[in-house]
């Protein structure tokens, strides 16, 4: 049996209140009132499609044996690098084995479902046992545009394989059409969109039904068997907006969270044609350990009413950052290579003599009663519980979201490190508050187009009673 083995999701904590857009820009674009309900998900300044893919994949792989993964696919129309293996960065951040294959699927909103079909066919053919597919998008839009209201940021990851399958893959059907409803040229920042009614009437209304019917014919099924309106799931417009390449995965993940054995799930991806896939949920779904999933991320939202913060995070306005921001961000790729396990995978060391963890890993064990030399073995810290030991909120440091908050983190099982904090305000930070390591953008080298990544601490304060 081949199909989905696990799922995971990530929606950024920040949600832009659409009414904040209307209040700021309604004088210029009153037509925005028609889509100003609810919120859209928005990346923090240090998030992008890659950081969201890492978070979704961590959720997907929680409690599973990562050594069984044979390939990693990343699907996105907003990859941070045009000429660098983005899926390879994802693989490194997850600290997966080196002897696997990676691949980027891009340039179409259906690249996520296309990647899933390729992965399922590979497992079905016996070439691979398990493949991780992550779909993620962080699309930019012009201020006061309809797309600013419609779009959302998010990611979801699916692990497919032939063992412990929670949703059996029944079949798929695809069509390819060079139907240009929108496009983004190589050197442009925003999508160019065609007329909405034409897109709806000639695109969605014709291509989607034809592809879905093709899948039903291929599987000898019919909608006449009992599909009613309440079986068509919400498009999540008022909760997140449309998450681009990730959206079919996001919606599928949300349904898997509550699916029961025997349920049939049809998922489709659209973009210059369409893909449709059919799954049937198995008894194994009862045995899958709990995940944060999409629902867990939807519950941890922080609504943002400051429209100018959205503009700042999306580089739609240019603000004065002060002299402290005038530093060279040139990355030494040789250093990045030598310390790749620490920088990308957040891997430290653990002494084989006394068992003491430490980060970063050094030649000499930090345990004063041990002091063993060259005794370190790799030890992952990305999933280890930790608490805040010290902290400060710095209003003088250059930051896109001041104050810059940072401090010392003490891991419960040993090891401590200075880390930047993110997704928090000063009131969220206290000594003893648990934190969760999160893969984030550390900086962007504007002159060379290079994004540097590292891990930051996300405080996890207890919910208010």
Whether 397 and 355 share a structural domain: no
Phi and psi angles of residue 147, each rounded to the nearest 5 degrees, phi first: -65, -35
pLDDT (tens digit, 9 = 90+) per residue, 368-412?
Answer: 999 999 999 999 999 999 999 999 999 988 888 999 999 999 999
Domain presence at residue 340: no
Count of structural domains, the chain = 3
For residue 293, what are the domain limits?
Answer: 3-313
Q: Determine the Cα–Cα distance for residues 378 and 134; give it in Å rounded to an integer.
A: 26
The pLDDT of residue 288: 95
Handedness of CA 71, 82, 437, 354 (dihedral sign): positive
pLDDT at 463 over 80: no
Whether 400 and 446 share a structural domain: yes
Whether 228 and 329 share a structural domain: no
| Residue 376: HSE in the Cβ half-sphere, 13 Å Cα cutoff | 20
Return all residues near 326 (Cβ < 8 A) that are at least 6 apart.
none
- CATH number at 75 reads 3.40.47.10
The pLDDT of residue 225: 52
Whether 191 and 264 share a structural domain: yes
Lookup result for tokens 């005794």: 375
Domain presence at residue 341: no
* pTM score above 0.75: yes
CA 53 to chain centre: 3
Domain presence at residue 255: yes
How much is the average pLDDT of 350-367?
Answer: 96
pLDDT at 294 over 80: yes
- CATH number at 398 reads 2.40.50
pLDDT (tens digit, 9 = 90+) per residue, 73-113?
Answer: 999 999 999 999 999 999 999 999 999 999 999 999 999 99
Domain presence at residue 342: no
The pLDDT of residue 465: 37
Helix (H, G, I), strand (E, B) or coil at 175: strand
Whether 228 and 87 share a structural domain: yes
The pLDDT of residue 6: 98
Phi and psi angles of residue 411, each rounded to the nearest 5 degrees, phi first: -80, 140
Q: What percent of the chain has pLDDT over 70?
A: 97
- The CA-CA-CA angle for residues 268, 76, 17, to 5°, reads 85
Question: How far, CA to CA in Å, does 187 sit from each of 49, 190, 452?
Answer: 19, 10, 21
């Amino acid at each position: 049996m081949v199909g989905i083995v696990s799922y995971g999701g990530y929606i950024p904590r920040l949600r832009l209140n659409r009414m904040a857009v209307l209040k700021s820009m309604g004088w210029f674009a009153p037509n925005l009132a028609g889509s100003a309900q609810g919120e859209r998900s928005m990346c923090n300044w240090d998030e992008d499609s890659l950081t969201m893919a890492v978070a979704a994949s961590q959720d997907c792989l929680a409690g599973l044996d990562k050594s069984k993964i044979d390939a990693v696919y990343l699907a996105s129309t907003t990859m941070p690098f045009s000429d660098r293996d983005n899926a390879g960065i994802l693989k490194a951040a997850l600290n997966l084995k080196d002897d696997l294959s990676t691949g980027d699927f891009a340039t179409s909103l259906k690249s996520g479902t296309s990647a899933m079909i390729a992965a399922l066919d590979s497992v079905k053919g016996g070439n691979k046992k398990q493949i991780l597919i992550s779909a993620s998008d962080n699309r930019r839009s012009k201020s006061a545009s309809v797309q600013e209201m419609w779009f959302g940021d998010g990611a979801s990851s699916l692990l497919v394989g032939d063992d412990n399958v929670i949703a059996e893959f029944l079949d798929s059907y695809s069509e390819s059409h060079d139907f240009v409803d929108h496009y983004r040229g190589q050197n442009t920042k925003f999508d160019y969109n065609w007329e909405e009614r034409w897109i709806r009437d000639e695109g969605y209304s014709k291509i989607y039904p034809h592809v879905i019917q093709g899948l039903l014919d291929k599987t000898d099924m019919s909608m006449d068997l009992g599909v009613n309106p309440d079986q068509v799931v919400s498009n999540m417009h008022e909760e997140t907006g449309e998450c681009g390449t990730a959206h079919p995965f996001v919606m599928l993940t949300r349904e898997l969270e509550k699916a029961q054995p025997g349920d049939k799930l049809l998922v489709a991806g659209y973009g210059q044609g369409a893909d449709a896939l059919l799954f049937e949920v198995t008894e194994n779904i009862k045995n899958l350990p709990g995940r944060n999933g999409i629902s867990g991320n939807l519950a941890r939202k922080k609504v943002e009413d400051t429209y100018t913060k959205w503009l700042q995070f999306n580089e739609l306005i240019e603000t004065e950052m002060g002299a402290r921001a005038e530093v060279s961000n040139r990355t030494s790729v040789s250093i990045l290579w030598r310390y790749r396990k620490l920088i990308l995978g957040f891997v430290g060391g653990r002494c084989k003599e006394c068992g003491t963890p430490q980060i970063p890993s050094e030649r000499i064990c930090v345990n004063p009663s041990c002091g063993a030399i060259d005794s370190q073995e790799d030890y992952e810290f990305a999933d280890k519980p930790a608490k805040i030991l010290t902290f400060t909120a710095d209003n003088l440091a250059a930051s896109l979201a001041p104050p810059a908050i940072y401090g010392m983190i003490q891991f419960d099982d040993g090891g401590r490190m200075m880390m930047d904090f993110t997704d928090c305000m000063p009131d969220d930070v206290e000594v003893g508050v648990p934190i969760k390591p999160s893969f984030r953008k550390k900086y962007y080298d504007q002159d060379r187009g290079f994004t540097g990544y590292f891990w930051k601490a996300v405080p996890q304060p207890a919910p208010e009673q």
